[in-house]
Amino acid sequence: MIGEILDSKYRIDKQLGAGGMGNVYLATHLGTSRVVAVKVIAPKWAKEPQFLARFQREAQACGRLRHPNIVNVTDFGVAKATGGDMPYLVMEYLDGQTLTEFQKANPQIALPLIADLLDQIGLALTEAHRHGIVHRDLKPDNIWLEPNGRGGYTVKVLDFGVAKVNLLGQWTPLPIETPVAAAAGEPPAADDRTPAEEIETIALAPVPSVLSSGSFDSGADAKTMPGSLVGTPAYMSPEQALGKEIDFRSDIYSLAVVAYALACSRLPFTGTQSGLLEYHQSGSPLRPDRVCRIPADVSDAILSGLAREPADRPLSAIVFTRRFHNAVDVEFLALRRSKAFLLQHLTAYALLLTPIYIAVISMTALIIEFSKKILPGAAPRVLFVPLAAAALFIFSDNVLRATAALIAADEQVRVRRFLWFRVFWKLVRMLPVLIATQVQSAFFVGPGWVVGDCLWPVICVVEKQSGRAAIQRSRDLMNGLRSAGRALAVRHFSLAVLAMAEAANSLRLLWRHAPVEQETLVIASLWFPVFSLFAAAPLFLYDRTAASESGPLLQLDRTPEVRITARALSTSSTIWLAVVLIYMLYEAVKIWLSSAR
């Protein structure tokens, strides 16, 4: 076809690719000189009505979609050619490579880049699902990476030829006309005149060919198979492989398989096609963090999309990709953007922090003096004062978190210049709610206790919840973000732990019958402003897990990509934890040396 004119409109310049059911050519539109890609059905399939219907379905599906991450189809037609009609599909020409080719050249892809690619794929799928379109053949060969000129890639989802088109909320079962699998040794029934509606039924023939082991091979097993099998076996959801009713959640499963393969350089299942059916019925994938060195949160995010039951998968493709992205970099970004938020509102922070800071120092001094009056003996004061000071420091840090949320919320609704005292009085009115919720969080023991409690001050502000409802909401949102929860917990409790370490020092003095002086707790409280650096971190976490698509509370630039490790804590969090542990060890050694004298 090279050099020929197709349908009096397109000059075929060269062949770009070939597949089992057609070829793709680089062409030029004669009227506009625009360079396009033209996809034509292979001659042996051009006379089959079901493949013509597939082309029409792809044109109709893409014609309903306008999204930067979905290939733009511009024309569809049937040209007259020697030997019969030649259906063709015209789409925008894309520079770059498929995800298959990209991973061959880059076997170890950084997690932040994987997260960025999945984000774009998720946006494309969500747009398709919003229009009632299920892709049904999502795989690396159908994902195109186009360099964006900024060191990254723009993703384009291709090939909606086997898409299932319906209205959202009205998914209907596909007619089951073909058996799920033929009997052993018996070839699958093949009727070339089967209506297009019936070829959408999934059927796997027991061909003992070995599926790809995870390298993005474009061989036979990675191609969409004609006839009764619609889709690519290695990337099919269980319900699709078993010929059951499917909806948009089938694409979420396929997206999770892509994520698994990108992160681990292998597929979750390796074996024969007949073994794939058994795997979908009773098997489970190996945890990704056991295959390669990735954080456990990232592994959990991938496995959430690989759930056998569709109801157990994330609610949408965006929810899945957001959870993956959060697991990859949310700890670093939360801490970094918290500091940026502080600098952006430095004046307001300074004015709001001053009364809180004065209150913390004053309350610490009052606790010490008050304890001397109600607890004349030194022994009871050894435990009471550090405990009270630790509780004060923890609560004051949560007040700072609520303050950051109030500042961000005020920015969303203000109609005049920001006034810091407006936020201050809102904070004063919220104090009873914050105090009550803080008390309940100390005794509401359960999954996520301590590590998952960092968001409740933000929830009290944004969602107007309080008490156990706010605490449980925080733990639900932090599920799957254990690394970020640990990082914030280390910072949140560090000053409180130092206050408790004062109890060890007091015990040492009490053991030596020396006067117990706990005024050093006031000095410890002087470090409290350091907490303001991380006050907005829970706000960012809330944005990444719960904020609606209308826009986040934080309006900050994206931060650079960072190297992600599989360690439970980042380097900075480890340093914070080490400082506290060293100080406690120092106090313990002092007690031991004092007792030895």
List residues with catalytic annotation. 137
* Neighbouring C-beta atoms of residue 107, cutoff 10 Å: 9
Distance CA 369, CA 36 (A): 81
Structure tokens given for 40: 């034509």
Q: Are 257 and 267 in contact (CB under 8 A)?
A: yes
* C-alpha count within 13 angstroms, C-beta hemisphere, residue 238: 18
Q: What SS3 string covers 174-194?
A: CCCCCCCCCCCCCCCCCCCCC
Paired with 154 in beta bridges are 146
Element (H, E) at 10: strand 10-18
- For residue 272, give the DSSP letter: B
Q: Which two tokens stand for residue 154?
A: 């723009």
Whole-Å CA distances, 578 to 490, 526, 565: 10, 20, 19
Distance between first and last Cα of the chain: 97
Q: Provide long-range contacts, Cβ within 8 A and 24+ apart, for 8-11.
A: 9/75, 10/36, 10/38, 10/88, 10/90
Task: Kindly tell me the sign of the dihedral angle through the C-alpha atoms of 171, 175, 176, 180.
Answer: negative
Strand partners, 37: 26, 91
Q: What is the DSSP letter of 209?
A: P
The CA angle 146-147-150, to the nearest 5 degrees, is: 145
CA distance 73 to 64: 10
DSSP-based three-state secondary structure for 210:
strand
Helices (H), 518-557: 520-525, 537-546
The tokens of 353 are what? 């922090």
DSSP annotation of 314 reads: -
Residue 96: CB atoms within 10 Å: 16
**If you ran DSSP here, which 8-state letter would residue 211 be given?**
P
3-state secondary structure at position 549: coil
H-run or E-run covering 27: strand 22-29
Closest to 263 (Cα-Cα) out of 103, 122, 98: 103
Q: Which residue has the tokens 């509606």?
A: 197
Residue type, 92: E
**Tokens 């990108």 sit at which residue?**
262
Q: What residue spans of 345-377 are helical by DSSP H?
A: 346-374
